[in-house]
């Protein structure tokens, strides 16, 4: 990536207070994102992908505490920004597609009015213009009869329909940064393709940057310029998409790719990742993947790990990369 990044996450560490101890959910996460770029963030459930996105948006759980780092959006540190400044950015400059639309949408407000609310707040439209734009956004995400559906409540719509409303809501103001957390959950294959094409087109038209959080490595491979692999709160590898799939350097990345169905590979040939994610409470080893790794050596336990370049634009957090 060249030039000044739109989003620059620098050494972000975040913990949660719980009754059974402090959960070190993110540790020294460093990522950057340029205008118009799509960055995929992949990893198992519990790796910290959604926690990272909530921290960027400033909507972390009250039990969360940022213990180190900065999150710069166009040079402004979002971690120290006032609530007023964050509210002005969210919905207009930054938007997020949440993984669970039924929780994210207001259950007692028609879906069209929810899109209108964002447009009235941030786009300076009249009520009539906002209504027209809301219906158009519902049409663009392939909701049938959008004029009528705009008056429906979330409980009157299927999960897939609610997901499309969530996407329309996020894209309504053409944000500079879109965080899409499993955006195609509950959608059929045809609609998945249409939605991702819509996001891609908007990115090209407006130079919108996108963080695509997904378990679907095939989806990431098709739509992302670069991919960041997370494991247990660490970013273990970042590389251009084609390079990552052709030559993964972190053992976890290689295992993750090996578990993914792909042409020419039977289901019997897919290999599960051994072990489980570590308990993120208490003292953790320098490499949080060490207990699951077949390449573990004493050097892996020797001290704090530092990401290094395995190739230009290809960083890896591993003492013994492949």
**For the chain, the helix, strand and coil percentages under 3-state DSSP, each to the nearest 5:** 35, 25, 40
Q: How far apart are CA 106 and CA 118, in angstroms?
A: 13
Taking the alpha carbons at both ends of the chain, their separation in whole angstroms is 24
**Which pTM does this prediction carry?**
0.94
The two beta strands, 314-316 and 234-240, are antiparallel
- Is 92:46 a contact under the CB 8 Å cutoff? no
Residue 137 has pLDDT above 80, yes or no: yes
- Is 49:235 a contact under the CB 8 Å cutoff? no
The strand pairing partners of 64, in sequence order, are: 16
- pLDDT (0 to 100) of residue 271: 82
- Is 183:215 a contact under the CB 8 Å cutoff? no
CATH 3.20.20.70 describes domain 7-93+175-316:
no
What long-range pairs does 198-201 form, CB within 8 A, spacing at least 24? 198/140, 198/141, 198/167, 198/171, 199/167, 199/171, 199/223, 200/38
More confident of the two residues 56 and 260:
56
Q: How far apart are CA 255 and CA 208, in angstroms?
A: 32
Q: How far apart are CA 169 and CA 298, in angstroms?
A: 50
Work out the angle between the directed axes of helices 111-122 and 159-171 (0-180°, nearest 10).
10
For 183-211, the pLDDT digits (tens) are 887 788 888 888 888 889 888 888 999 99
Mean pLDDT value across residues 276-286: 92
**Residues contacting 215, CB < 8 A, separation 6+:** 42, 44, 45, 182
For 215-235, the pLDDT digits (tens) are 889 999 999 999 999 999 999
């Amino acid at each position: 990536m060249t030039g000044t990044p739109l989003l620059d996450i620098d050494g972000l560490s975040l913990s949660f207070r719980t009754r059974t101890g402090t959960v070190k959910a993110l540790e020294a996460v460093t990522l950057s994102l340029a205008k118009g770029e799509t960055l995929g963030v992949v990893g198992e459930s519990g790796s910290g992908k959604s926690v990272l996105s909530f921290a960027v948006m400033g909507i972390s759980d009250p039990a969360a505490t940022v213990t180190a780092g900065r999150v710069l959006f166009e040079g402004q540190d979002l971690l120290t920004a006032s609530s007023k400044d964050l509210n002005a950015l969210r919905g207009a400059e930054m938007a997020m597609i949440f993984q669970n639309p039924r929780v994210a949408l207001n259950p007692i407000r028609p879906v069209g009015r929810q899109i209108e609310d964002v447009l009235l707040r941030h786009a300076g439209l009249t009520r009539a213009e906002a209504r027209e734009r809301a219906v158009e956004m519902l049409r663009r995400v392939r909701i049938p009869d959008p004029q009528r559906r705009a008056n429906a409540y979330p409980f009157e719509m299927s999960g897939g329909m609610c997901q499309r409303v969530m996407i329309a809501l996020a894209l309504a103001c053409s944000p500079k940064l879109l965080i899409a957390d499993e955006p195609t959950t509950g959608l059929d294959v045809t609609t998945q393709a249409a939605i991702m094409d819509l996001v891609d087109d908007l990115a090209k038209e407006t130079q919108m940057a996108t963080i695509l959080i997904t378990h679907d490595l095939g989806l990431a491979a098709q739509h992302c310029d670069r991919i960041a692999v997370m494991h247990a709160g660490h970013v273990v590898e970042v590389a251009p998409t084609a390079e990552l799939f052709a030559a993964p350097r972190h053992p976890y990345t290689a295992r993750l790719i090996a578990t993914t169905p792909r042409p020419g590979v039977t289901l019997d040939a897919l290999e599960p990742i051994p072990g489980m994610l570590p308990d993120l409470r208490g003292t953790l080893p320098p490499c949080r993947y060490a207990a699951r790794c077949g390449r573990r050596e004493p050097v892996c336990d020797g001290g704090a790990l530092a990401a290094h370049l395995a190739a230009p634009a290809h960083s890896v957090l591993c003492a013994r990369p492949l």
